[in-house]
């Protein structure tokens, strides 16, 4: 079994953590904060979010101001980062032993390494399913942050991946919502002839390609095989469904995206803007993005629809699976302000704040029960969450569910497939090699 500190260093690619974070030959558990105690409402707490930029940034700004008003001797320091920049920020903060009191996390291997590195507080007594706070969350969301029966994460919102489409573009091109992968590919020619880029796609950051791949893997590879392959100790990566999925992805890139623009050089936000400006007919997006592509100067909400990436006919995996996972926050186990930081996060996830988070303009579907309804959220967000809740299974993001070496191999492979510089066979072989090295 890997040393947990080495695993954490690999995940964050930072070279080394301070001795206070990862000392000795075996990681010892950090001293446990007494989360049953009353918080000492004084001093400063630091919170690392993934909400930089409008409209999201103002959510935590408002929460912090209201918390400070209720507790005048408390100061809340916000470190607001974007979906991409937060990865580099976490590396820097962890390397300098300056991880904030509360910090954003994905589920899967990303979260697990902080737990194994002793940097995530055990919140079971505070947010376990039988506690008052824990019972406020959907069961699946809460369980996604559990490791070995202990609860380390605070679910903030649910998420899932869907193809957003412009209803007017589909009508103009005379195409219906595709129900099979071949149908999706077949619709692209008609949409292009109608004057639209069929699918907006920006892969400069690498992970957008992996979102397509993971959904196609869920469709083409039996679930038990797929989940076994996420862990190097049980991985083989030999199922023929992988190469089939990679081939299908290449077909989508070649026939439905703007290959002349070179998607590896295009930001995902640029693709998002292309769809919001009605220059593209479709854009594969997370529920978190739905309310960002509609509104004044963007796509009319009535013209915005969603559907799951269609499954190929006769696929060997789970045609009802949806790629997605909740996202949330952890409390720094080494923080002297751990109890106060947890209290702030409890305030941030109150029912009233959860409804605000789920509503326009934020559109982040809270994991708190009853926060997402057609009255509190846009129709698209409410529909997306309904589809996520009704999925036969959820499959986590490919770059966070597996170990860093394998995730890096997939990132490189996705970029190579997008540019056409590697074949599906070459990509899967590089992943097998990375997985074998990670054992």
Report the alpha-carbon distance of residue 175 to residue 184 in Å, rounded.
10
Q: pTM for the full model?
A: 0.82
Cα 104 versus chain centre, distance: 11
Report the alpha-carbon distance of residue 410 to residue 397 in Å, rounded.
11
Cβ proximity of 203 and 263 under 8 Å: yes
At residue 21, the pLDDT reads 38
At residue 9, the pLDDT reads 40
Counting beta carbons within 10 angstroms of the beta carbon of residue 303, is it exposed (0 to 12), middle (13 to 18) or buried (19 or more)? middle
Neighbours of 282 (CB within 10 A): 28
Residue-range domains of the chain with CATH:
4-159+325-371 (3.40.190.10), 161-323+397-437 (3.40.190.10)
Nearest to 251 by CA among 379, 418, 104, 108: 418
Report the alpha-carbon distance of residue 417 to residue 370 in Å, rounded.
41
CB-based contacts of 370-377 (< 8 A; 24+ apart in sequence) = 372/158
β-bridge mates for residue 91, sequence order: none
CB neighbour list of residue 363: distance below 8 Å, 6 or more residues apart: 287, 288, 289, 290, 291, 292, 377, 378, 381
- Going residue by residue through the chain (439 aa), what tens digit of pLDDT does each one get? 333 333 444 445 433 333 233 333 333 445 578 998 999 999 999 999 999 998 899 999 999 999 999 999 999 999 999 988 998 899 899 999 999 999 999 998 899 989 999 999 999 999 999 999 999 998 888 999 999 999 999 999 999 999 999 999 999 999 999 999 999 999 999 999 999 999 999 999 999 999 999 999 999 999 999 999 999 999 999 999 999 999 999 999 999 998 777 899 999 999 999 999 999 999 999 999 999 999 989 999 999 999 999 999 999 999 999 999 999 999 999 999 999 999 999 999 999 999 999 999 999 999 999 999 888 899 999 999 989 988 988 899 998 899 999 999 999 999 999 999 999 999 999 999 999 999 8
At residue 27, the pLDDT reads 38
User: 240-256 vs 207-220: helix axis angle to the nearest 10?
Assistant: 130
């Amino acid at each position: 079994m890997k040393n947990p500190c080495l695993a954490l260093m690999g995940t964050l690619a930072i070279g080394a953590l301070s001795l206070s974070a990862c000392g000795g030959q075996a990681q010892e558990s950090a001293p446990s904060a007494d989360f049953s105690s009353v918080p000492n409402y004084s001093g400063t707490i630091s919170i690392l979010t993934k909400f930089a930029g409008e409209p999201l940034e103002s959510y935590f700004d408002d929460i912090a101001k209201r918390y400070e008003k209720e507790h005048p001797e408390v100061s809340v320091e916000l470190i607001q980062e974007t979906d991409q920049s937060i990865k580099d920020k976490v590396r820097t903060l962890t390397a300098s032993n300056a991880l904030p009191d509360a910090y954003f996390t994905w589920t899967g291997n990303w979260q697990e390494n902080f737990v194994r590195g002793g940097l995530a507080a055990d919140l079971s007594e505070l947010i376990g399913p039988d506690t008052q706070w824990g019972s406020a969350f959907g069961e699946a969301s809460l369980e996604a942050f559990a490791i070995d029966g202990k609860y380390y994460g605070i679910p903030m919102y649910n998420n899932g991946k869907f193809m957003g489409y412009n209803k007017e573009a589909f009508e103009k091109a005379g195409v219906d919502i595709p129900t099979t992968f071949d149908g999706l590919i077949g619709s692209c020619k008609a949409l292009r002839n109608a004057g639209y880029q069929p699918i907006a796609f920006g892969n400069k950051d690498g992970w957008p390609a992996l979102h397509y791949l993971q959904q196609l893997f869920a469709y083409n590879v039996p679930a038990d095989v797929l989940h076994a392959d996420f862990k190097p100790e049980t991985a083989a990566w030999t199922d023929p469904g992988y190469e089939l999925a990679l081939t299908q992805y290449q077909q989508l890139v070649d026939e439905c995206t703007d290959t002349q623009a070179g998607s590896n050089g295009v930001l995902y936000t640029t693709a998002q803007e292309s769809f919001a400006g009605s220059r593209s007919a479709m854009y594969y997006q997370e529920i978190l993005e739905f309310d960002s592509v509609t509104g004044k100067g963007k796509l009319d909400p009535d013209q915005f629809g969603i559907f799951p990436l269609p499954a190929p006919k006769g696929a060997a995996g789970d045609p009802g699976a949806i790629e997605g996972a909740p996202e949330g926050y952890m409390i720094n186990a080494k923080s002297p302000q751990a109890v106060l930081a947890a209290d702030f996060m409890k305030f941030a996830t109150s029912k009233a704040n959860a409804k605000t988070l789920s509503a326009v303009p934020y559109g982040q579907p809270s994991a708190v029960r009853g926060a997402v309804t057609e009255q509190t959220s846009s129709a698209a967000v409410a529909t997306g969450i309904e589809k996520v809740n009704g999925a036969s299974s959820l499959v986590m993001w490919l770059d966070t569910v597996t170990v860093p070496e394998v995730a890096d191999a997939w990132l490189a492979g996705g970029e190579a497939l997008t540019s056409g510089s590697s074949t599906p066979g070459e990509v899967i072989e590089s992943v097998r090699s990375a997985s074998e090295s990670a054992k």
